[in-house]
Chains A and B, each alone.
Chain A
């Protein structure tokens, strides 16, 4: 069975810095990583392969440098890596991203066999929209399973899959037909280390690299900035609040006096809160 995982290379956001004057993001020299949420998808794909056999392909759309993320994925034991890279994709919003990735997935299907399961992470840590997975599913008419906590059963021969999905207010068990798109919930597994062989292979294996044209994209107007209905109008730092916190202090600063003064200050600000609290502590 052919399984494809979409991964995104993202800045290690703990280290993202913002230019103090221009308020722009300073990307230079910021280390990049595989979007952490995507590792749960990669591991689940590998587990699925271990169970039912087949191959796992990873796909990313990004600059040439995104090759690093793909090589890293190969060290975990992924079989094949595809990089979709073209200037035409610059400035893609989620609609344009799902268009490009869907085209690449179709091409992957033609070249290496139709994927029966496509995985994505729950969301990224930079754009953070969680919209690309559903976008790909809709474009390729894959059955959509988001926020999957557990794969209960997969039967490639029957073309069936059963999963547990984190739904609003509860856990849904869903059964559906392959091909599917799964967005994997975080914390569901732990990425494996991969073997020494995988590590060696990762450094020399050829990365399949496609331009827009290679991926069979003819409608360039649907790509990148042109193909993006959303427009970023401005980027700015959060405004500071007008007044600072009122500092509570007492003459001798014993903890008891300070605590006494604090509760008074709270209830002075919000008298109704005290009524509510008393009602609560009195029990129903």
Chain B
């Protein structure tokens, strides 16, 4: 694509700007900021990736993945502010899921241990885990608030914190996993995944693009299950103290 063609794509930014202005949505400023940020961030990351790929150094790959995990943690933690130590819990979950997926992919020789593969797949895995963490924390916090009387009831009858929180935890885990499972049911029918489309546009063999996309889809299923369950089981104990009481905000 030439720079002139790229410039023409700004038409897709002008349309929402005009609509926002016409219908007084008040989103013009945010749209412009988002556009400028995405141009700068993507151009920057393009140059950084070029440098890392050329250097073929594992130190730079490690740094790139660490930055991704740090940024994803920072973004997701806001949704779980009520949970003590949520930053570390999210970070541990993301690190675990990264090690697990790369361990399987590289360990079984499914993908080569090069920057090109590690960084691209890490981006998808960590990004997806971040969204799942946000979905989980949103739902879990709401479930806790809405069913506090049920939690209290089970504790009052001699139940353990795990028993008291079980149904809320399961509801939140399921709610965060469902979008991943549902979107996979219609993949290829309703939407063509971005990565696969990108590969096809770049001239790759469609069958090869599909094979690679399938790998990513299966990987994201594991990602969804492990992220939600791990974050859930790391989060709930901090809501209770050693006397099996719901922790009060002042504690």
Chain B binds chain A = no
* A→B interface (CB under 8 Å): none
